Each structure stands twice: as C-alpha cells, then as structure tokens.
Homo-oligomer: A and B are copies of this chain.
C-alpha cells in the first residue's frame, strides 16, 4: 500500500483525486517524479520528459533524460552517476575503444540493452512514445512516462566563441565548459496526442527542479504545451533548481551567470513568470527570496530515498494549500 501521507489524507479532496502532470528533465526531475509515483495513483500521474538532449550515437537513439526518469522510477538507476543503471559493466564499451569507436559518451552493458531494444522498435516504425511505453512495461513502471514529442527536437548550445554544439557534445564531450551565449530550440516540434490529453485533463502541473533552460524550456517549446499550461490546469507549481545560489547538480547556475542573469531562486521565479501559479524554493533562500508571486519555502533537497517522498509530499501539500 502506498503511503499517501497524513496531511494530504486529512483533506476532503484527496491527492488521489487529482490528475497530476510533472515536467521533468534529468536527475532532479527523475527524483521528484519518483517521489510523486509513491503518492499518486498511477492512472493519475503523467511525467512529460525532455527529449531535447537526445542524439544519435553508435547508430542508436540516445535519450538521456527519458532513461534517467525510467531507471529512477524502476529503481534501477545508478545512484552515483545520475545516469545509467546500477550494477553496470563496461565490456562492450571497452571493446568499442579497442576498435577505435567513439567512447566519449559511455553506454554500459545493461544500458545498451535499453538502447538496442529502442532502436529495434523505432526501426519497426513505432513512435518514441510507444517504445517508451514498451520499455516502462518491462521495467514495471506504472505511471505514464511520455517523451515531450515523437519528433526529434534537438537543443543546440551556442557558445560565446560562436560555435553551435548539439547538447550532448557541449554537456558530455566538452563537460559543459564552453560558456553559453544562447540556447537554440527547434521550430515546429509538435506534442503527441498523449501529451495533449494529459495536459487537457490535468488538475496540477508540477515543473520539477530541473534546468529551466535546457530541460524545461525545450518541453514548453513543443507546441502547444506552453499554451496548454497557460490555459488548462488549475495550478502550475514550479520547484526551484537553484538552492543557496547554486545548482544542486549540472550547469544551471553557470548558464544563468553566463547569460547575464542573477543566480538565485528569485531569478528562476521571475524567469517562469506568469506561466506558474506557485513557486517553491528552498529554505536556505528564505531570507534572500524576493519573488513577486505566490511562493513557499521548504526543504527541497532530495536524497536517494525518503527525501524524494518528503519533497513530493510537501510540494503537493503546498499546491493543495494554494488551491484551497
């Protein structure tokens, strides 16, 4: 039996009655989604995942954020790396190196199975949405995990030296070091029917503490996701990925600085602006926060176990409080 948590259970309208959509990128999004999956009945939870990081590598379609979310919800994620599977081995990758193949982006033996199965099903003409559903079924994942689109939607990074790099080239190969001048998102990417249906019926949309520029913006850029967020749900709650003036993981803070923004929860709230109804930021920033709209401070750091459940519960509770 799932622990729905006492504060929420006490309310007349229970959390189990709400249809919830979570927009997620990589690690932070995956952790919050895993917490939500412990609280929300599977039919009422949809996780929309950024696929702007996807790219072709070793002949395979690599979907880093989708896989991080899948592996995290399946309980098979590698807790140390933030990507890939636990108990991973590297026999194939070592042989690729010996054969003079590219090894800057590492796919472990277990992780490769996901990629090969995906490649097979995509090659048979299935959509990425259908392939993801197939993989989730075999990983015993119950909530719906939806790629933001079935079309390729590559995020490109324009560095200050004028180079335009595919996201993973910038992020992994160049270890997110080239300073970011601009992020280029593709035109004309369309959402799937599954996403439109999920957002049209959503009561609550939660924007996970993922990178606003390269995890959340690519999702919002998919037509008509931004418009649906503006029109449909009762409430859109965003969780700050910036804690104490720093990113928990990854390049969010560095990017903000390079793009001339203040590195703060306040700046993130301002960036989301009218799109969101409620902003959740960390208690560490309670003194400094100067956001204009509704906002709640709480402990937002998620570890590997109970932290996810606690943050998910508190975020839902704050959202229900806002609604009531």
What residues of chain A have their CB less than 8 Å away from a CB belonging to chain B?
56-61, 89, 91-96, 98-102, 109-110, 112-123, 134-135, 137-139
Contacts and interface: CB of A to CB of B under 8 A. Distances in A.
B89 A59 contact: no
Contact of A99 (B89, B94, B99, B138): B138
Contact of A101 (B57, B96, B116, B137): B116
Contacts of A109: 91-92, 95, 109
Copies of this chain, count:
2
Given A98-B138, A100-B137, A123 B56 contact: yes
A137 B123 CA distance: 30
A235 to B, nearest CB: 36
Q: Which 7 A-B pairs have the closest CB atoms?
A: A59-B119, A95-B113, A101-B117, A58-B116, A91-B109, A99-B117, A96-B113
A99 B135 contact: yes
Contacts of A116: 58-60, 92, 96, 101, 112
Contact of A59 (B92, B123, B134, B135): B123
A92 B120 contact: no
Nearest to A115: B59
A11 to B, nearest CB: 39
A122 B94 CA distance: 20
A152 to B, nearest CB: 14
14 contacts: A59-B59, A59-B60, A59-B119, A60-B116, A60-B119, A91-B91, A91-B109, A92-B113, A92-B116, A94-B113, A95-B109, A95-B113, A100-B138, A101-B113
Nearest to A95: B113
A85 to B, nearest CB: 9
A110 B92 contact: yes
Nearest to A107: B116
Given A59-B119, A89-B91, A119-B58, A113 B99 contact: yes
Given A109-B91, A110-B91, A58 B99 contact: no
Question: Which of A57, A99, A110 counts the most B-chain CB atoms under 10 A from its CB?
Answer: A99
Contacts of A120: 57-59, 101-102
Contacts of A89: 91
Nearest to A102: B120
A36 B101 CA distance: 29
Contacts of A94: 113
Given A100-B137, A109-B109, 18 more contacts: A56-B123, A57-B120, A58-B116, A58-B119, A59-B60, A59-B116, A59-B120, A59-B122, A59-B123, A91-B91, A92-B109, A92-B110, A92-B116, A96-B113, A101-B113, A101-B116, A101-B120, A112-B112
Contacts of A91: 89, 91, 109-110
A24 to B, nearest CB: 21
